[in-house]
Structure 1
Amino acid sequence: MTKRELVIRVANTLGMTQSDVAKIIEGAFDTISRTLAEGERWELRDFGVFEVKTRASRIGRNPRTGDQVPVPERRVVTFRPGKKMKELICGEAPAEGAAQPSGETPSI
């Protein structure tokens, strides 16, 4: 789903104009982004938690040459789903037409 699709769905659900909803969503995303940029966590109960974590520096490999390459420390945003989100995702039936695991190993 894109931001535009979110705006349309929320506007239809709440009976608001798309313009007003777009301003609200843009403001919310901006606030969330700034909060994370400051190193704070952002939690919406039952939905999930966004946090900024620091990945340690490490030695990686150049896939073309195989040479070792230092990968510097960096900050990344992580997401942990909340309880209700997990229940919704795990408890839902697969979408119609989605691939079902057959338990068989596919032949190549």
Structure 2
Amino acid sequence: MNKSDLIAALAKETDLPLRKSEEIVNLVFDTMSVALVEGNRIEIRGFGSFMVKEYQGYTGRNPKTGDKIAVNEKRLPFFKTGKELREHVDEPE
């Protein structure tokens, strides 16, 4: 499922026009993105949680040349599945 499929499913389920469904989906994702940029944690019960993990810089190696390179520290989004979602996906069909 991609974003367009999600918008279409929302429109079908709620009888909203596609344009309004798109605004709602965009608002949800934009709000989540802003919260993560600000360092907040997002928890959706039964689904999972989103957070930002900070990774320290380190000295890496270019696999092609073997030269050492400095890898800067970085912040990356991280998703941890909730128990209900994990169990639901693991159920036999």
Provide the TM-score with structure 2 as the length reference: 0.94
Residue 37 of structure 2 corresponds to residue 37 of structure 1? yes
**Which protein has greater RCO, CA pairs closer than 8 Å, 6+ apart?**
2
CA–CA distance in structure 1, aligned partners of residues 28 and 71 of structure 2? 33
Aligned-residue CA RMSD (Å): 1.0
Amino acid at match of 2:91: G
Q: Which moved more, 1:30-39 or 1:58-67?
A: 58-67
**CA drift at 1:68:** 1.4
- Structure 1 stretches lacking a partner, 5+ long: 94-108
Partner of 1:9: 9
Q: SS state of the match for residue 60, structure 1?
A: strand
**CA drift at 1:92:** 4.0
Partner of 1:101: none
Residue 68 of structure 2 corresponds to residue 80 of structure 1? no
The 5 Å alignment of 1:79-98 reads 79-93=79-93
Amino acid at match of 2:44: L
- Whichever structure has more strand as a proportion of its residues is 2
Q: SS state of the match for residue 35, structure 1?
A: helix
Count residues in correspondence: 93
Amino acid at match of 1:37: V
Task: Report runs of 4+ in structure 1 exceeding 2 Å deviation.
Answer: none
CA–CA distance in structure 1, aligned partners of residues 58 and 5 of structure 2? 39
- Structure 2 stretches lacking a partner, 5+ long: none
Amino acid at match of 1:27: L
If you compute each CA radius of gyration, which structure gives the higher value, 1 or 2?
1
Provide the TM-score with structure 1 as the length reference: 0.81
CA–CA distance in structure 2, aligned partners of residues 92 and 2 of structure 1? 24
| Identical amino acids, percent of aligned pairs | 37
